Structure 1
């Protein structure tokens, strides 16, 4: 089989190299393959016999108990099923090189960005790290694969003028209340969707949010948000417990897609010249807080970030503010 392999390989190169070069390659290749067992790959369809590890379901139960959001669980399931389906190997036999090849082929075949590819690497790493810690495998084969570098796009928050234009574009009480509450609390759209009237405490100016990771956290009302919400609630004539409800009967809770659409349309009406979405308002809240002197730890608490590094990604401190503080402090 070795001789057959060498001859076939040389036939491919016959029209690409000179006779002298072919002779050198032939001699070198013959010596090289003498140390290897070579066999022709079997291209017959091999039926899958359960490509998911036995601990697969246990992993997801564990992550759910730990508070991972349903959205994240769905993403992890999608990535890991594709990974194990493509490799079709027992978990204990998967090597670091198997993972590298999978990631490389994934990027080449699907033309993935480095950011998306690193997300896949992170998910695979998390699964194997858990499996190793739980004793299902000896060690994590993904541990030696370094994070894939990529440049994070800089988030540009709303300027003061843009925010005022959006405020002026509000032509109804509901949109005004949505905008001001998003900006005051820095909440996520899923947290806004889940808010009930009872979650607003007008006495303490506190808002009880329930969102990512099925966790509760407290944020706060500023004066504009309080007035906007009071005006909106006074205009309602329903008995729904939800803070934001649809315009028509039966006045059900306003869902995430509907909230996003209202904010998007609001941005179009304002004429700010770019897409407006809830997360951009959240980013603006974080940046304004830092620019106006709020400690980063407090901004982190308002946004509900576990890692302070995430807060710094969301909130970009203006260079002008840094320059002014440098002049005052570094003398």
Structure 2
């Protein structure tokens, strides 16, 4: 059976032509391997022998595993891309996944902070300490730019340009983009870099160029960022939850509510597809009230 060679070729396609991230590639390969295991069980030994009836049986098995609609949707998308690739390479004559319908996914409205909650967060730190300065800079930058936590912990000093207040973000799939930040983030970053970071860096004999350091002077990790944000939430006495992506959601929600266009927000977030950004088109009650008061003749 020619599955291993076709999977290997698809792997190189994702890596070299698509420049996909390692995590994305792993998900693709896992989904494809699961389908290959299913075909083995069904004694289907050639890729060209796969038909719609086989796919329906496969989907039935997925639902019997109590997988979410989102997970099933992702697997269909992976397999459709895989079969598209094989059709392009003339390994098969048609893609049996071409007309497979994707299960409808219930999109939850992303959680975000209201402005009064953010004020409490921004006032929760002791800015006379190195860790307080670091935490403030971290929070200001996440909210100012909407970057992912994985992008935040990759930042080094050369990525920050204070002359035009932008950062160079190293995003998914080794893609880079420039994102601006405002005066509050600028002040917090400059204070931290000139004072707090200098003190933290002395805790480590090795030279570290990462912007955000832990109390031992080592690069901050994804887990470390989450811990810091949770501690800030407790100090601010807020009852809501917090995670780095919630600040990303807040960034996008506030921009769109204040009139930013979708394409600009897409670019700032580093989304490949506009559909990924459209999840933020919900509006807050405050925004609805503001529009109503401004627009209705008898408001």
The TM-score, its normalising length taken from structure 2, stands at: 0.86
Report whether the alignment pairs 1:58 with 2:18: no
CA distance in 2, matches of 1:315, 1:211: 23
- Report the equivalent of 2:254: 288
CA distance in 2, matches of 1:185, 1:143: 38
Give the alignment's TM-score, normalised by structure 1. 0.78
Larger-Rg structure: 1
Q: How does 1:174-193 map to 2 (within 5 A)?
A: 174-193=134-153
In structure 2, the residue matched to 1:76 is 28
The answer on 1:101 being equivalent to 2:57 is yes
Are 1:283 and 1:315, in contact at CA under 8 Å, matched by a contact in 2? no
Partner SS, residue 55 of structure 1: helix
Q: What is the number of residues matched between the two proteins?
A: 279
Identify if the C-alpha distance between structure 1 residues 328 and 162 changes in structure 2 by more than 3 Å, giving closer, same or farther: closer
Structure 1 residue ranges (4+ consecutive) displaced by more than 6 angstroms after TM superposition: none
Q: 1:200-279 maps to which residues of 2 (within 5 A)?
A: 200-234=160-194, 235-237=196-198, 238=201, 239-248=207-216, 251-279=217-245
Corresponding residue for residue 135 of structure 1: 90
* CA distance in 1: counterparts of 2:231 and 2:24, whole angstroms: 28
Superposition map of 1:111-126 within 5 A: 111-126=66-81
Q: What is the CA distance between 1:194 and its match in structure 2?
A: 0.9
- Between the two structures, name the one with larger relative contact order (CA 8 Å, sep ≥ 6): 2
Which region of structure 1 is more displaced relative to structure 2, 140-149 or 301-310? 301-310
Give the CA deviation at 1:157.
Answer: 1.2
Q: Distance in 2 between matches of 1:319 and 1:307?
A: 27
SS at match of 1:194: coil
1:30 corresponds to which residue? none
Match of 1:92 among 5, 27, 48: 48
The C-alpha deviation readout for 1:118-165, integer Å capped at 9, x for no partner, is: 111111111111211221111110111111012111113111122122
Deviation at 1:309, TM superposition (A): 2.2
Unmatched tracts of structure 1, length 5 or more: 1-49
Q: What does 1:7-18 align with in structure 2 at a 5 Å threshold? A: none
1:271 shift after superposition: 3.0
DSSP-derived class of the 2:167 partner: strand
Q: Kindly tell me: are residues 329 and 143 of structure 1, through their superposed partners in 2, closer, same or farther at Cα, counting changes over 3 Å?
A: farther
Cα RMSD, aligned residues only: 2.1
8 Å CA contact retained: 1:205, 1:221: yes
The answer as to whether partners of 2:197 and 2:213 remain within 8 angstroms in 1 is no
Q: Is this contact kept in 2: 1:205–1:220, CA < 8 A?
A: yes
CA distance in 2, matches of 1:295, 1:189: 24
Matches of 1:304 and 1:67 in 2, distance apart? 15
Tell me: CA distance 1:274–1:51, structure 2 relative to 1, closer, same or farther (3 Å): farther
